[in-house]
A = this chain, B = another copy of it.
């Protein structure tokens, strides 16, 4: 009954601060990791956004009437709420201190993922999520594979709150080179009994969550984590594959529906 090291999480630390126009691939490659086939590179959406120049100055934003009303209902800055609405499809819950929306990328999150932490600047500087995280992941993967000659995958992560349970966990908002979900229906268990339709593993969310243990949310300065030792075959898939459709979701109905 030996204990085998199954998975390891490597931190690139300290990672340099990322500015608009920076090439994240180059910054990662500068760490000169001994890359291995199968490594999954988890990159926070935050540095992808910074590199893509998704910083917005609130004093450039004119709130709409709806944003002003929603800001009053949620005790939020109306200019910030205006940005949230521009980045969203639907308002799911609005309460004092709480604004949950369905992001244009499909997932449900607080404030459309817009925040100020680790953004720098002053209180007027906020950061939007990347424009197309799957696309960012795909491009980053191509650059890293080209430079290293290894078979790699990339996950762009964000930190989401959860219904039912406290706290924020890492989830995948962009993927390339790793299947978002693994369907285990029909796969035999230890005793040969076929697993049910309910056995679905959101492997990239689990990867993003694990990487979050290393990245942290404060001043750790570890926006890139390499997950090594996963044996997840297969390509393809988009981060949106992780999302329940509004029709099938039992909880996400907007309150005014």
Question: A residues within 8 Å of B by Cβ?
Answer: 1-17, 30-33, 93, 95, 98, 100, 107-108, 110, 116-121, 161-171, 181, 184, 187-191, 193, 195-196, 198-203, 205-207, 209-210, 212-214, 216-219, 221-222, 225-226, 229-230, 241-244, 249-252
Contact = CB atoms under 8 A, between A and B. Distances in A.
Nearest to A117: B189
A27 B233 CA distance: 32
Contact of A190 (B11, B187, B199, B219): B219
A28 to B, nearest CB: 9
Contacts of A119: 191, 193
- This chain: how many copies in the complex? 2
B4 A11 contact: yes
Q: Which secondary structure dominates chain A's binding surface?
A: loop
A133 B225 CA distance: 32
Contacts of A5: 8-11
A155 to B, nearest CB: 12
B219 A213 contact: no
A255 to B, nearest CB: 9
